[in-house]
Amino acid sequence: MACRRLACFVAALLLLAAAVAEAKEYAAIFNFGDSLVDAGNLVVDGIPDYLATGRLPYGMTYFGYPTGRCSDGRLVVDFIAQELGLPLLPPSKAKNATFHRGANFAITGATSLDTPFFCRELFRRSLFIVGEFGGNDYNSPLFAFRPLSEAHDFIPHVVDSIAEGVEKLIAEGAVELVVPGVLPIGCFPVYLSIFRKQPEMYGAKTGCIRDLNTLSWVHNAALQRKIVELRAKHPDVRIIYADYYTPAIQFVLHAEKYGQYSILPGLMAHDDPGRFSISEFLDRLMIRLNFVLGGRPANGPVRLVTAVCVQGFLKQTPRACCGAPGVGEYNFNLTSKCGEPGAYSCDDPSNHWSWDGIHLTEASYGHIAKGWLYGPFADPPILDNKHLG
C-alpha cells in the first residue's frame, strides 16, 4: 500500500512539473546502421520477392504489418524516439517524407559508415545513433568458414571506420552521439545452428559458443578504447558507448528476471504502454523527477499509473520465436527462415528474446532502449542525471 501511495504521489508531482516544462531535449534523431535498426530502407521501392523480412509475421506485434524492420515490432531506435517525444524516424530513402525531426539511414546488410550531411545548426540539436556496425563485416569470413582469426583481423579496420564516421559527423556539427557495440553472436540461433562445436566450446551456463562471443567482446573492447580517444580529442562532444552485449547475455542467463511490467497508461511520452522491470521503473521515476524539477521537459503529458501486468522471458536454450525446426533445439532453419514457407511464429513474441534467430524481439529492444536511455546499458546513459540537471 505504501508503494502504491508513493507511486501516485510521484506521478502526481511529475504531472504538475510537466505542465511547466520547456522545449524538448533533442530536435531530431539521425540513425545509421544495419538490419538491427533498419526501419524500411530496403523496401521503400517495394518488397523484393526474395526478402522474407518484408512479409508477415515481421511487424506483427506493434504495426500489424511488415515495415522492413527485422523484428516483430519496434526497434531500439523506435523506443528511443518515442521516449524523447519524437516521431518514428522515416527511412532516409522514403519519398515525400520530411526529415526535420530526423531520419533513419540504416539499411539491412550495411557494412561501413557513409554519412550524408544536413544543416549544421540542426546537427547541434540532434542525437546521432551511429551503428551498430561490425556484425556484417565479421559475417563475411565467418559464413565463408574462414579461420576465426581472419574475423579478428578485421576488428581494427572496422573500429577505425566507425571512428572516422563519428568524426565526420562531429565536423558537421554533431555534439551528441551514441555508438553501439555488437551483440554476443555466439548466443544466436543462426550461429548455433551453423557452427557445430565440441561440448567444451559452449558456455556451461549460457549454451553459447565461446569463441564467437569472444570475437564480439574483443570488438566492443576495442570500440570502447577508441571512444575514450575520441572523447579526449573532442572534449565538448558527448560520445556515449551503448551496450548490446550485456543485455543479450542477461536475457540468456536470467530470462526470468526480465519480466515485462506493463504500465497502463504509463509514464510515457506517447500513447503506447511502456514495459520495463520494477527496478527500471523506480530508476526511471527518479530520473524523470530530476528531469522535470531541473527545468527539463517530461516529454509530453504524464499520467497516473493505473495497472501493472507481469510477464517474463522463457528460460530456455537460445531459441528463435519465428523459424522452423532445424539443427539442434534453436528453431532455426536456413532453408525455412522466418517469413518463408514452413516457418512459423511463436504465440507470444514478448516472452522470447530472439525473434528470428538473427535479430531480437520488440520486447528485447524495449529493455535495451531503456538501458541506453537511463542505464545501465550505456556509458553514460543518454538521459543521465548530470546531462539533465
Catalytic residue among 38, 243, 356, 384: 356
- Which residue range(s) make up the domain with 36? 28-253+361-379
In the prediction, which pLDDT does 294 show? 42
In the prediction, which pLDDT does 387 show? 56
Give the DSSP per-residue string, 329-374: TS---TTS-TTSTT-EE-S-GGG-SBSSSSSB-HHHHHHHHHHHHH
Confidence of residue 15 (pLDDT cuts 50, 70, 90): very low
Please tell me whether residue 298 adopts helix, strand or coil conformation: coil
Provide the percentage of residues in the chain whose pLDDT is more than 90: 64
Give the DSSP per-residue string, 5-27: HHHHHHHHHHHHHHTT--S-S-S
**352 catalytic residue (yes or no):** no
Residue with the larger pLDDT of the pair 166 and 119: 166
What is each CA distance from 64 to 57, 73, 74, 356, in whole angstroms? 8, 8, 11, 17
Confidence of residue 289 (pLDDT cuts 50, 70, 90): very low
Residue 265, preceding bond cis, omega within 30 degrees?
yes
In the prediction, which pLDDT does 247 show? 97
Residue with the larger pLDDT of the pair 296 and 213: 213
Residue 313 pLDDT exceeds 70 = yes
The domain tally of the chain equals 1
**Phi then psi for 207, rounded to 5 degrees?**
75, 10
Confidence of residue 306 (pLDDT cuts 50, 70, 90): very low
pLDDT digits (tens, 9 = 90+) for 343-352: 999 999 999 9
In the prediction, which pLDDT does 345 show? 97
In the prediction, which pLDDT does 322 show? 97
pTM of the model: 0.82
Residue 122 located in a structural domain: yes
Provide the percentage of residues in the chain whose pLDDT is more than 70: 76
In the prediction, which pLDDT does 113 show? 46
In the prediction, which pLDDT does 2 show? 37
**100 catalytic residue (yes or no):** no
Residue located via cell numbers 559464413: 143
Mean pLDDT of the chain: 82
Please tell me whether residue 216 adopts helix, strand or coil conformation: helix
| Helices 135-143 and 148-171, packing angle to 10 deg | 160
Residue 298 located in a structural domain: no
Residue 120 located in a structural domain: yes
Residue 77 located in a structural domain: yes
Residue 59 located in a structural domain: yes
Residue 295 pLDDT exceeds 50 = no
CA gap 178, 256 in Å, rounded: 29
Residue 244 located in a structural domain: yes
Residue 316 located in a structural domain: no
In the prediction, which pLDDT does 307 show? 37
Of the segments 40-49, 224-233, 247-256, 310-319, which one has the largest average pLDDT value?
224-233
In the prediction, which pLDDT does 316 show? 84
Residue 116 located in a structural domain: yes
Confidence of residue 8 (pLDDT cuts 50, 70, 90): very low
In the prediction, which pLDDT does 311 show? 65
pLDDT digits (tens, 9 = 90+) for 326-342: 888 999 999 999 999 99
pLDDT digits (tens, 9 = 90+) for 220-260: 999 999 999 999 999 999 999 999 999 999 999 999 887 55
Residue 319 pLDDT exceeds 50 = yes
In the prediction, which pLDDT does 262 show? 45
Residue 151 pLDDT exceeds 90 = yes
Catalytic residue among 219, 352, 359, 367: 359
Confidence of residue 66 (pLDDT cuts 50, 70, 90): very high
Q: State the CATH number of the domain containing residue 246.
A: 3.40.50
Q: Using only C-alpha atoms, what is the Rg of the chain? A: 20
**336 catalytic residue (yes or no):** no
Q: Give the residue-averaged pLDDT of 353-366.
A: 96
SS3 content of the chain, % helix, strand, coil (to 5): 40, 10, 50
